[in-house]
Amino acid sequence: MAPKAEAAQTLASQSDASQSSIDPLFHILKIFPYSIIRPPRLRLKLPSFTLPSPMTVFALVLLTYFMVVSGFVYDVIVEPPGIGSTQDPATGSVRPVVFLPGRVNGQYIIEGLSSGFMFVLGGMGFVLLDLALDKNRAKSVKVSYASAGISSIVIAYIMSMLFIRIKIPGYLRSCYTLAMNELLMNSK
């Protein structure tokens, strides 16, 4: 409160601010140290707090969404390796494995990040589509937005389907005992 009162005093140049203020702290401070000490003339301004625009907030939200959907919390707690490895039984060389096999609720860090990127890409495709249908732009811009949007959606969808097919070998195949034995440990 003290610097605020002080700034008000310097701005109003001391004439009627002191009488019209109803702030008790201000009056106490006026008497106690500041009748003896002379405060210096400063140009202080409190930082003003402006709300960010909605689209800024949307960008931040998208970043958070990317982190959550990539399994960031999983990475922090379970600490899986960045990429897995198996040993080729025939030659003995170590080959990298990108997708953690066998479980639905498990991942390596890289696979999580790439899948999260695909999801965000798909979402951005829809946003670009909406921007393309906005009336107030040049036609070439609209066409490029529309084509970028459609291609993003298509690529994101195909890649996500590919990823999930690699991860869960029995995807969309109906042999429910197999899936059940795998998932029994994890989905309950």
Partner 1 sequence: MVGKTESQNGAVKATAAPAMNLESDLFSNFSFKSFKLKTKQQELLLRVSILGLVYILAFITRLFSVLRYESMIHEFDPYFNYRTTLFLTEKGFYEFWNWFDSESWYPLGRIIGGTLYPGLMVTAAFIYWTLRFLRFAVHIREVCVLTAPFFASNTTVVAYFFGKEIWDSGAGLVAAAFIAICPGYISRSVAGSYDNEGVAIFALLLTFYLFVKAVNTGSLAWALASAFGYFYMVSAWGGYVFIINLIPLYVLVLLITGRYSMRLYVAYNCMYVLGMLLAMQIRFVGFQHVQSGEHMAAMGVFFLMQVFYFLDWVKYMLSDTKLFQAFLRITVTSAIAVGALALGVGTASGYISPWTGRFYSLLDPTYAKDNIPIIASVSEHQPTAWSSFMFDFHILLFLFPAGLYFCFKKLSDATIFIVMYGLTSMYFAGVMVRLILVATPAVCLISAIAVSATIKNLTSLLRTKSKTAVAGSSKGTGGSKASSKASFDQSQPFQKNGAIALLLGAFYLLSKYATHCTWVTSEAYSSPSIVLAARGAHGNRVIFDDYREAYFWLRQNTPPDAKVMSWWDYGYQITAMGNRTVIVDNNTWNNTHIATVGRAMSSYEDEAYEIMRSLDVDYVLVVFGGVTGYSSDDINKFLWMVRIGGGVFPVIKEPDYLVNGDYRVDKGAAPKMLNCL
155-184 residues near partner 1, rule: CB under 8 A: 156-157, 160, 163-164, 167-168, 170-172, 174, 176-181, 183-184
The reply on whether position 110 binds partner 1 by CB under 8 A is no
For partner 1, the closer CB: 28 or 185: 185
In DSSP terms, 87 is beta-bridged to: 94
In whole angstroms, give the CA distance from residue 151 to residue 169: 27
Is residue 34 a contact partner of residue 10, using CB atoms and an 8 Å limit?
A: no
31-90 residues near partner 1, rule: CB under 8 A: 51, 54-55, 57-58, 61-62, 64-65, 68-74, 76-78
Query: Apex CA 6: angle with CA 5 and CA 12, to 5°?
Result: 90
Q: Measuring CA to CA, how many Å separate 171 from each of 53, 168, 176?
A: 43, 6, 11
Q: How far is the CB of 91 from partner 1 (least distance, A)?
A: 25
Tell me the site size for partner 1, rule CB under 8 A.
Answer: 71
- Tallying the residues shown for the chain, one arrives at 188
Is residue 59 a contact partner of residue 69, using CB atoms and an 8 Å limit?
A: no
Q: How far is the CB of 6 from partner 1 (least distance, A)?
A: 14
C-beta atoms surrounding 171 within 10 Å: 11
The reply on whether position 148 binds partner 1 by CB under 8 A is no
The reply on whether position 104 binds partner 1 by CB under 8 A is yes
Is residue 106 a contact partner of residue 77, using CB atoms and an 8 Å limit?
A: no
The reply on whether position 135 binds partner 1 by CB under 8 A is no
Binding residue (CB under 8 A) for partner 1 from 126, 148, 155, 159:
126
Q: How far is the CB of 106 from partner 1 (least distance, A)?
A: 6
For partner 1, the closer CB: 37 or 108: 108
